[in-house]
Amino acid sequence: MTGLFDPLQLGAIALPNRIVMAPMTRSRSDAQSVPTPIMVEYYRQRATAGLIVSEGIAPSRHGIGYCRTPGIYNAEQVAAWRQVTDAVHAAGGRIVAQLMHCGRIGARFNKAPDAETVAPSAVRAAGRIFTDVAGMQEQEVPRALATGEIAGVVEEYAAATRHSLEAGFDGVELHCTSGYLPMQFMAVNSNQRTDAYGGTAENRTRFVVETLEAMTGAAAGRVAMRICPGNPFNDVHDPDPTETYRALLSRIAHLGLAYLHVIRSPHRDLDAFALAREHFSGPLILNDGFDGASAARALADGKGAAVSFARHYIGNPDLARRLREGLPLAGFDSKTIYTPGEAGYIDYPFAAS
């Protein structure tokens, strides 16, 4: 029977246990999207996870959406991430980079002056977004990518994959949910294209397939993807997510992804884990709402190969030890999730010995 503390092989990445730290935006980079020294300590503290999935990292300056979020598209960023990965590896951990292009989600105050907001179609997302310099702002109206430009965006992901390996990451994960660029291509309200990237489920998933092909070409055995079928976050809508994700998963079977990271669907009648098991033959990392006991049951029942934890890792840098020894889990301060500085970031205590 598989347990949380059994080792696991995910493609070319060997894990000492099956407890994964899920990606979480924490907004501690500097204004140039360069990781800061406190980020080195934050990830080092959590290196006893079997695998850390980094916060979302922009593959290009155009991919930045939120304030104080990191990139991996220039030499300074790569060098700063190398300090993070070196610290994690020195502590015995493994870490992959989650590549996150926000697409139409963003405000110009959070971007470099020469950065654009691009998307499949020129459709503004509902809602507002926080900026450090101007407070809450309406989402930008994006510029629709021309068909001939899409290959260039795909290459940005491939270049970011190469930069991630240069920075010492053990692999890369494509962020394909939460209403960001890949999901904007797959959703019918944000993708109103009439070319080969719009319309049918096969066409709407084309961008994701081409991106994964480019990424695996740069890092075979070290590329993964995160999905959440039916997730409406950031104003995306798909009337038939089952059809969309069947089409997507059937078209990437040949790529040999290291794993598929699956978030529980918000739709009660859609079992995202079962859908993934049916259409993806590789290892699954399950996410959303698990505690130690339910995670152990999911693995014992064969529902996935590993389980990822997000919020439990905010206040419990030693979560793996606490789960192994049955120690109480600490809470966290929700007011400091996205604030700059050390408070609520690297000052949570480890359990007493």
Dihedral Cα 172, 177, 179, 185, nearest 10 deg: 80
CA distance 341 to 350: 19
Identified catalytic residue from 43, 73, 157, 180 = 180
Alpha-carbon separation of residue 101 from 48, 57, 94 (angstroms): 28, 8, 23
348 is catalytic: no
β partners of residue 135: 131
For residue 226 the two structure tokens come to 């995160």
DSSP 328: P
CA distance 280 to 252: 9
Q: Yes or no: say if 249 and 284 are a contact pair by the CB < 8 Å rule.
A: no
Residue 339 burial class via C-beta count within 10 angstroms: exposed 0-12, middle 13-18, buried 19 and up: middle
* Residues identified as active-site: 180
